[in-house]
Amino acid sequence: MMALDFVEAMELIAARATRLKVAGVLGLAAVCVGGLFLGPQSAVLVHRYRWWETDFISSLQANLERLGGASLSGNIQCVDSISGCGTTLYKMRLVQETGVLSDFLLFGPGDVPVIAQTRKEFADAVLALPPQVIVVSSWLHIDGPGDYRKLDRWPELEAFLARDYRLDTEWKPTRMQRWWSREEMGPGYRIYVRR
């Protein structure tokens, strides 16, 4: 996209006054750097990532199939952002109970209006018609804690899970993954089933 913008800028500048030739040269330099340096470098770096390792997704899919598979549609809820719960439900063609697709708006500071509103909407939906299955990933996207400590940020949800659900499965990865510039242990998940 940037290359298209730079090329268009070079053409516009070439059609105008001579004093703008410097900008055209800068645009050409940017295209060259992108094409001769950044593109090849990115192609080399992308081969370091192990994108095919989808243990979270395949394990969660197997567990959800065991719990009812397609019959869970409309009766399941993910409390996750990017770990893979939403991807798993998409692959299985399962619809979530609520419209909440990302958990970072549930576990932020409770005095922030959008957090308070999202929590209320989520709680109202879940309490009105509790899903049969709730999947909670172990970490909170962007700035959050791991090991399910995000639940400490919203004690009412943690109490609701303890009171109305039983822990069916707790899955932890067994190998390191490389989705970023470094290896790290990936997220786990817990599956709660309504009592």
CA dist 140 and 152 (Å) reads: 12
In this structure, of 17-26, 58-67, 149-158, 159-168, the range with the lowest mean pLDDT score is: 17-26
| Tokens at 76, concatenated | 């399941």
Measured CA to CA, the distance from residue 67 to residue 61 in angstroms comes to 10
How does pLDDT run across 126-154, given as a tens digit for each residue? 999 999 999 999 988 776 788 999 999 99
- Please work out, in degrees rounded to the nearest 5, the angle formed at the alpha carbon of residue 9 by the alpha carbons of 8 and 14: 100
Could you give the CA distance from residue 127 to residue 119 in angstroms, rounded to a whole number? 12
Taking the CA atoms of residue 186, residue 75, residue 63 and residue 80 in that order, the dihedral angle to the nearest 10 degrees is: 0
pTM value is 0.75
- What pLDDT sits at residue 105? 87
